[in-house]
Amino acid sequence: MAKAKTVAIIMDGNRRWAKSHNLPASHGHRKGVETLIDIVKASKTLGIKNLIVYAFSTENWSRENQEVNALMNLINFGVDVKLPEIIKNKMRLKFIGDLSQLPVSAQKGIEKCIESTKNFEDFNLTVALNYGAIWDIIESFKKMKQNKVEITETSFIKNTQISDTNVDIFIRTGGDKRLSNFLLPNLSYTELFFSERLWPDFNTRDLKNIIESFESRQRRFGK
């Protein structure tokens, strides 16, 4: 029976959830953070070692300025309000993406998260911010060229943002069935799951059902 160690999630549906409750989009994103914390704790309980979540893509800059600013402020909200809970549960925080393009306040918050959790080893929460898989691919080739590394399939994957981490499960909430430029180099044999639930409504039972379904699948890896 296959055991899932790494799960990647596109947390889609925050804005639609807010609209359905006659609330501003920022409220949906904040409710999404609450859902994330619940799913993170459930993931650790269910034996997951690595959770990778898509929080802000390179394409999200094209949204209205008000929403982009709210999303950037949400990073600081997470640091101020949720970091103590992350530390209490001994979870290591990592970040991928072009972080240099984020506001200075957000970069400082990210540094605080990394430094405060760097000694935890049992569970990793990786947050993708200003991330795009095409950007990731280009950066991988740049690193290989700079370090004069021979370009092979192995070296290419190793130089991507999550290196050669094997993603077992990919989940997208919100009903859409696409990958949206997320971790494309790393999903070759990942099992895909799409949920109709909007991210703020996604719960631990939904996650458990997906993991149980994953464990019932036969993974052949092309053999």
Is 223 within a domain?
no
Domain that holds residue 143: 6-216
Average confidence score pLDDT of the chain: 93
Is 195 within a domain?
yes
φ and ψ at 57, to 5 degrees?
Answer: -95, 165
Is 96 within a domain?
yes
C-beta of residue 151 within 8 angstroms of C-beta of residue 135: no
pLDDT range class, residue 194, cuts 50, 70, 90: very high
Is 222 within a domain?
no
Q: Which two tokens stand for residue 33?
A: 């953070």
Q: Tell the burial category of 182 from Cβ atoms under 10 Å away from its Cβ (0-12, 13-18, 19+).
A: buried
The CATH number that applies at residue 164 is: 3.40.1180.10
Domain count along the chain: 1
C-beta of residue 56 within 8 angstroms of C-beta of residue 71: yes
Annotated active-site residue 186? The verdict is: no
Q: How far apart are CA 136 and CA 69, in angstroms?
A: 24
pLDDT value for 146: 97
Q: Which two tokens stand for residue 61?
A: 């800059």
End-to-end CA distance of the chain: 17
> pLDDT tens digit string along 36-84?
999 999 999 999 999 999 999 999 888 888 888 878 888 887 888 889 9
Q: Which two tokens stand for residue 166?
A: 């094997």
Q: Tell me what the mean pLDDT of segment 131-143 comes to.
A: 97
C-beta of residue 186 within 8 angstroms of C-beta of residue 162: yes
Residue 6, beta-bridge partner list: 50
pLDDT value for 61: 87
Is 221 within a domain?
no
> pLDDT tens digit string along 100-119?
999 999 999 999 999 999 99
Is 143 within a domain?
yes
Q: Which two tokens stand for residue 56?
A: 């802000």
DSSP assigned state of 192: E
Q: Does residue 26 surpass a pLDDT of 80? A: yes
Annotated active-site residue 60? The verdict is: yes
Q: Does residue 18 surpass a pLDDT of 90? A: yes
Residue in 14, 22, 60, 181 annotated catalytic: 60
Between 161 and 78, the higher pLDDT residue: 161
pLDDT range class, residue 1, cuts 50, 70, 90: low
Residue in 12, 136, 168, 206 annotated catalytic: 12
C-beta of residue 94 within 8 angstroms of C-beta of residue 124: yes
Is 64 within a domain?
yes
Is 1 within a domain?
no
Q: How far apart are CA 72 and CA 60, in angstroms?
A: 11
Q: How far apart are CA 42 and CA 13, in angstroms?
A: 20
